[in-house]
Amino acid sequence: MQDVRDFAALAANEPALEVGAGTGKATFDFARCGVPVTCVEPDVRMARVLGRRCAQLPGGGVTIEVADFETWRPRRRYGLLYCAQAWHWVDPAVRWDRARCALVPGGAIALFWNHWFLQCGELADRLTAAHARHGVEVPPDTLLDPRPRPARRGPEARQWRDMTAAGFVEPDHRLYLSAHERSPSALIDLVNSYGGYRALPAGPRERVLNEMAHLVAEHGGRAQVKVVTSLFLGRTPPTAAG
């Protein structure tokens, strides 16, 4: 993401640190731009997928470390720490201290989330009704959650308040809008990526996902979705010792 790179103003070949890299959706955006990335990913299976995908990148600019960020010890400090869709999984009791310790004085932190919404209200209603038929509540903060997301913005947002309370300066909150089209299988892949769905019992989850795919197919085989990307930026004080 160009705005993150501009905010961080990394020197040539200065590496960035990614927390919770998963299978590398955000990793590739940085690595393809020539930024060396150290990825900390606690899930061994995801790290293996990430490693296979990164092997396709020229230059070997991605280093993968399988570890929990809460206990991982960096061998150096970084000019940028970023986290896509995963910061809320890191223990709030230690995550900000760990971030400060991993960053150089004046180093940037970038935390971002995608919030997905169905453009068609009729399709959203049909998919929501499918949940009710299978005795499944729509998990919060997911595609069909009717509540506004992000719920708070700027200084009113929890991420902003937590960041500044932890000593980060120059806070900023930026929103980006985009639109996508999803096939039935692609929409189910998106739904499956939510922790709230993965936590459901396997039987009801599979039944509701199968019906959702069927309903999207009936709808013309495509679901139009809107994405609001919420980006929080900050940095350690220039004289911080960590």
User: Where do the structural domains in the chain lie, given as residue ranges?
Assistant: 2-235
In this structure, are residues 79 and 10 in contact, taking their beta carbons and an 8 Å threshold? yes
Burial class (CB in 10 A: 0-12, 13-18, 19+), 99: buried
Rounded Cα–Cα distance for residues 57 and 204 (Å): 39
Per-residue confidence (pLDDT) for residue 59, from 0 to 100: 66
Contacts of 127 (CB under 8 A, 6+ apart): 118, 144, 212, 215, 216
Per-residue confidence (pLDDT) for residue 193, from 0 to 100: 87
DSSP per residue over 202-241, as a string? HHHHHHHHHHHHHHHHHTTS-EEEEEEEEEEEEE--TT--
pTM > 0.85: yes
CATH topology for the 2-235 domain: Rossmann fold (3.40.50)
Per-residue confidence (pLDDT) for residue 53, from 0 to 100: 87
Per-residue confidence (pLDDT) for residue 241, from 0 to 100: 45
Residues of the chain with pLDDT under 70: 59-60, 240-242
Rounded Cα–Cα distance for residues 167 and 180 (Å): 37
User: What does DSSP assign to residue 140?
Assistant: T
